[in-house]
Amino acid sequence: MKKTPLFYGAVLALLAGACSQETSEQSTAQQPAAEPAAETAKAAPVSTEVVPDTAPPIDFEGFDESVRPQDNFFEFVNGKWLADTDIPGDQARWGSFLILRERSREAVRDIIEDLAATENLEPGSAAQKIRDFYRSYTDIERRNALGIDPLKSELERIESIGSKAELASYFGRASRISVEKPFALFINQDAKNPEAYIAQFWQTGLGLPDRDYYFDEGERPEKLRTEYVAYVTRLFELAGMDDAAGLADTVMDIETQLAEHHWTRVANRDREKRYNKVARAELAELAPAVAWDQYLAATGVHEEDAFIVNQPSYFEGMSQVIEGVSLDGWKTYMKARLLSDAAPFLSDDFYQANFEFYSKTLQGREQPPELWKRGVDTVNGTVGELVGQIYVQRHFPPAAKERMVDLVENLKKAMAQSIDNLEWMTEETKTEAHDKLQNFTTKIGYPDEWRDYSALVISDDDLLGNLERVSQFEHEYQIGKLGGPIDRNEWFMNPQTVNAYYNPSMNEIVFPAAILQPPFFNMNADDAVNYGAIGAVIGHEIGHGFDDQGRKSDGTGTLRDWWTEEDAAEYQKRADALVAQYNQYEPVEGANINGELTLGENIGDLGGLTIAWRAYQLSKDGDEPAEIDGYTPDQRFFLSFAQIWRNKSREDYLRQQVKTDPHSPPRYRVLGSLPNFDPFYEVFDVKEGDGMWMPPDQRVSIW
């Protein structure tokens, strides 16, 4: 009963090696989740009005001119903003991405409130669904009056489980209603046959953000484990269950056993090791304690004869845990998972318990978001594409899309030149790289066709029912893909999402409408600013097609080794050097960046910067534009790049980020990339002894 259709864009990195610009700090989910695509319906026409943009292309008021750009470029561009800015109480961090996400959320609020003021909305219409979903969330008086009542029947269903076979059936039901369990089922393209969908399994089942949280030593990790058990205890108390503390200890024990078998996040990045295709009969050999026939029947995926098991050793270990834990223990565990997943959508006391642990204890937030913000997030997370249709009509003029098409094409030309100019790559591999680049698909703004939600029923007085119906709706759509053609119109982010992604199986780069605003994209800005900002974002996503995992797919999206042995070795040598560089960065005392976990994103950042710079030089066509605000165009390129990563974070959030997030903290997306990039040295006259200096023989250049 989590928010669905979940957030596929945020987990593409786990599913298939593709990565978004930023992940959501609100997500603690362990499993991959798919946001289904639509049945076809023609896209609504968009507004022809160009929204005036008064934001200055570069915010010089945020600069700290007491810092030399040659010593710390991030602080030079952002230092005064950092000093003058307080993180809002309901946020774990604050900066360019978060500010733009707030604008997007406010735009969605305006859409919803306009609908709320409209009489006689047609039953079953998109407008009615959006309005009533929001009403069901924000009717806090009703939610408080109901308390635990909306979950009683589901809790009774769990209590009635009479055998391990029935437990497997309930795991199948949990898949349908988006309740956490020890493993997840999802539908995705077959990485080695991307013209076909295949059912896949993924390790899940943990309430803490990562396996290491169960085993790390020290005062803080032990405190977090104690606080987590207290949180689960509180859920059981609110549900009126006896011996709540004892039940919570049981949950913690089961999760710790599961965590022992979890693959690390670094291991999960390896697409080749995760590709384990098994016949149906082999599932029983791999995990004999799971009653697979009952489970698959309950999910509706009972006619498939092959599956992908992403972490086979986990499933072997999980089977041992299922066998070793009593049925009563598993029922306690599933009740905890249900209560925790539903807590944000129940009464205030449940919501507060969930906030206190996941947002305050883990991330340092001081206060919950206002009710309307949570309501908007719920609508975006469930029927967001319906909202997106209205959003693009109001906020995404055709001129913006046309300008983006030109930018993307120029970035592709720049990437092609980069491939041609690589001295370390053989012609054989270059030919394959060009083929992949030529086959890139670009999606900008919004889908060409919108999904059909006509079968989904939404009520204004049944929040938990709405969430369950959305989950069932999404589940049926997902399993309906099996045996069918690939839907290449499918989007895994809504238009109002401030993010972007690359999907290797589709070999596509995707830029939702909401990111195409200042400071990332400014219709009125000079080219240097746009290439340094949205150009670097475009280049970043193109770069993911050629990062350490994206490079494993070819132009058709097939997971295939198209590299010569010598080229692969040279690539790995350069990647290893980048890992070593980022391992040295310590965003918060005692917590270094994990260079292996963040490698794909760091390659994306460096490659994106490189490609965007080359594209900007191409765009000048031999001319040299005049200085603006006392800076040359080339300098403005780098100022704009550093400005998009303007950000400050709470310490607790930073500690969680370096353990779980494949993205480096924003400061190091500037301080890690620029010292490796020779043109930066020339443009800002960086010399040996300066803080941004790195010896030439240590600089990493891949693309």
User: Mind listing the pLDDT tens digit for each residue in 338-374?
Assistant: 999 999 999 999 999 999 999 999 999 999 999 999 9
Q: State the pLDDT at residue 634.
A: 98
CA atoms of 69 and 78, how far apart (whole Å): 11
> Would the CA dihedral through 407, 412, 417, 422 be positive or negative?
positive
CA atoms of 534 and 521, how far apart (whole Å): 5
Tally of CB atoms within 10 A around 627: 11
Q: State the pLDDT at residue 6.
A: 36
Beta-sheet pairing, 193-203 with 306-309: parallel
Mean of the pLDDT values across residues 407-420?
96
User: Mind listing the pLDDT tens digit for each residue in 494-539?
Assistant: 999 999 999 999 999 999 999 999 999 999 999 999 999 999 999 9
Candidates 471, 511, 506, 382; CA nearest to 17 is 506
Q: State the pLDDT at residue 322.
A: 98
Q: State the pLDDT at residue 621.
A: 87
Q: What percent of the chain has pLDDT over 90?
A: 89
CA atoms of 550 and 530, how far apart (whole Å): 26
Tally of CB atoms within 10 A around 328: 12
CA atoms of 72 and 50, how far apart (whole Å): 37
Q: Angle at which helices 219-238 and 327-342 pack, to 10 degrees?
A: 90
Q: State the pLDDT at residue 53.
A: 52
Candidates 576, 608, 610, 613; CA nearest to 698 is 576
Number of residues that make up the chain: 703
Q: State the pLDDT at residue 54.
A: 64
Mean of the pLDDT values across residues 159-166?
98
Q: What percent of the chain has pLDDT over 70?
A: 92
Q: List beta partners, residue 197.
A: 189
Range with the lowest mean pLDDT among 53-67, 183-197, 449-463, 618-632?
A: 53-67
User: Mind listing the pLDDT tens digit for each residue in 456-505?
Assistant: 999 999 999 999 999 999 999 999 999 999 999 999 999 999 999 999 99
User: Mind listing the pLDDT tens digit for each residue in 628-669?
Assistant: 999 999 999 999 999 999 999 999 999 999 999 999 999 999
> Would the CA dihedral through 174, 177, 178, 180 be positive or negative?
negative
**Coil, helix or strand for 67?**
coil
CA atoms of 574 and 480, how far apart (whole Å): 43
CA atoms of 360 and 92, how far apart (whole Å): 9
Helix boundaries (H) for 147-193: 152-159, 164-177
CA atoms of 594 and 494, how far apart (whole Å): 30
CA atoms of 540 and 359, how far apart (whole Å): 29
Q: Is the pLDDT of residue 13 over 60?
A: no
Q: State the pLDDT at residue 119.
A: 83
DSSP 685: T
Mean of the pLDDT values across residues 96-116?
96
User: Mind listing the pLDDT tens digit for each residue in 578-615?
Assistant: 999 999 999 999 999 999 999 999 999 999 999 999 99
